[in-house]
Amino acid sequence: MTNSTAKRLRPLSPNIQIYRPQLTSVLSIANRISGIVLSLYAIVLVVWLVAAATGPQAYSNVHVFMGSGVGRILLFGCSLSFFLHLCGSIRHLIWDAGFGFELRTIYASGWTVVLISSALTIIAWIVSIVLAGWNR
Amino acid sequence: MSKESMRSPLGRALGLGSAKAGVGEWWRERVSALALVPLTVWFAASLIVHTGSDYATLIAWLRTPIVSLLMVLLLAGIFYHTALGLQVVIEDYVHSGLKILALIGMRFICAGLAAAGILATLRIAFGR
């Protein structure tokens, strides 16, 4: 008796697949995906710390893996996800404070997130390669 | 289900809407995000600076009191924020009875990783 009301077919909003991707929707899902990705990299952070606490040999294993091709691709993914999530979250915090809701502002801040997070990723890699050399 | 038929429509509706713990979780996610902005930027900048450092240099850096302190704050902040964020993701996409298991499992993993990371930091900080 109570379930009949819950199971009644109600009109649903159109599903996400029929929409053309827009900057707003793409950045929204990008913030969520980068957050999920970063939670996986948080595991790597703990592995790295535990290895450092264990000793030089354990740390060296992690360090060598991070310097390998696969490790570098993973680190690049980590840095890109981090800067994207950082910039996207600052944009969200500004919205949460009640600012920036005009459509023009939303697109301007969206492109700012794309540009700054890409720039920071590239700068981070250039600085780290300049400081340590490609073979570190 | 038959025992629920005794409840009034109002009684069934109460407590099912958004007015539960959502506001508190929303705030906690934002406040932890705010704390993580300086902490993660500091950590990312430090990692970039230490790209070429050897083991001894890195350990010496991690043993500095301010670095140990910031690492503990960073780890606590990261896994607190991660647990809140993944909770939203699980609640959005998992609708079966697995939801509660996924939430509990996710929290256990976050708590375990936070403890492991903080313990490793303290072992480095107080190690010989």
Q: Give the phi and the psi of residue A20 in degrees, each rounded to 5.
A: -70, 135
**CA–CA distances in Å: residue A91 to residues A99, A130, B15, B33, B46:** 10, 31, 32, 12, 24
pLDDT tens across B52-87, in order? 889 999 999 999 999 999 999 999 999 999 999 999
CA dist B28 and A29 (Å) reads: 21
Provide mean pLDDT across the span B111-123. Answer: 98
- The distance of Cα B55 from the centroid of its chain, to the nearest Å, equals 28
A62-68: long-range contacts, CB 8 A cutoff, minimum separation 24: A63/B55, A67/A135, A67/A136
Per-residue confidence band for A64, with pLDDT thresholds at 50, 70 and 90? very high
CA distance B37 to B77: 10
CA distance B34 to chain A (A): 8
pLDDT at A55 over 60: yes
Q: What's the rounded Cα separation, in Å, for the pair B106 and B112?
A: 10
Residue A44: which domain range? 24-132
Domain for residue A3, yes or no? no
What ipTM was reported for this prediction? 0.86
What pLDDT score does A14 carry?
A: 72
A16 within a domain of the structure (yes/no)? no
- To 10 degrees, what angle do helices B65-93 and B55-63 make? 90
Domain residue spans in chain B?
A: 21-126
Residue of A nearest to B89 (CA): A32
How many domains does the structure of chain A reveal?
1
Q: Is residue A13 part of a domain?
A: no
With helix as H, strand as E and coil as C, how does chain B read? CHHHHHCCHHHHHCCCCCCCCHHHHHHHHHHHHHHHHHHHHHHHHHHHHCCCCCHHHHHHHHHCHHHHHHHHHHHHHHHHHHHHHHHHHHHHHCCCCHHHHHHHHHHHHHHHHHHHHHHHHHHHHHCC
What pLDDT does residue A1 have? 45
**Which chain A residues contact residue B120 at CB under 8 A?**
46, 49-50, 52-53
Kindly report, residue by residue over A21-52, the tens digit of the pLDDT: 899 999 999 999 999 999 999 999 999 999 99
Identify the pLDDT of residue B20: 64
A45, A66, A93: best to mutate for the B interface, most B CBs within 10 A: A45
CATH of residue A106's domain is: 1.20.1300.10
**Span A103-120, average pLDDT:** 97
A36 or B97, which is more confident? A36
Report pTM: 0.86
* pLDDT tens, position by position, B25-52: 999 999 999 999 999 999 999 999 998 8
- Percent of chain B topping pLDDT 90: 73
Q: Flag whether A4 is in a domain.
A: no
- pLDDT value of residue B89: 96
- pLDDT score recorded for residue B19: 59
Q: Verify whether the Cβ–Cβ distance A2 to B58 is below 8 Å.
A: no
pLDDT range class, residue A8, cuts 50, 70, 90: confident
B9: confidence class by pLDDT, cuts 50, 70, 90:
confident
For chain B, how far is it from start to end, CA to CA, in angstroms? Answer: 62
* Helix/strand/coil for A2: helix
User: Is residue A2 situated within a structural domain?
Assistant: no
Q: Does domain B21-126 have CATH number 1.20.1300.10?
A: yes
Q: Cβ contacts (< 8 Å) between A56 and chain B: which residues?
A: 55
Let me know if residue A18 belongs to a domain. no
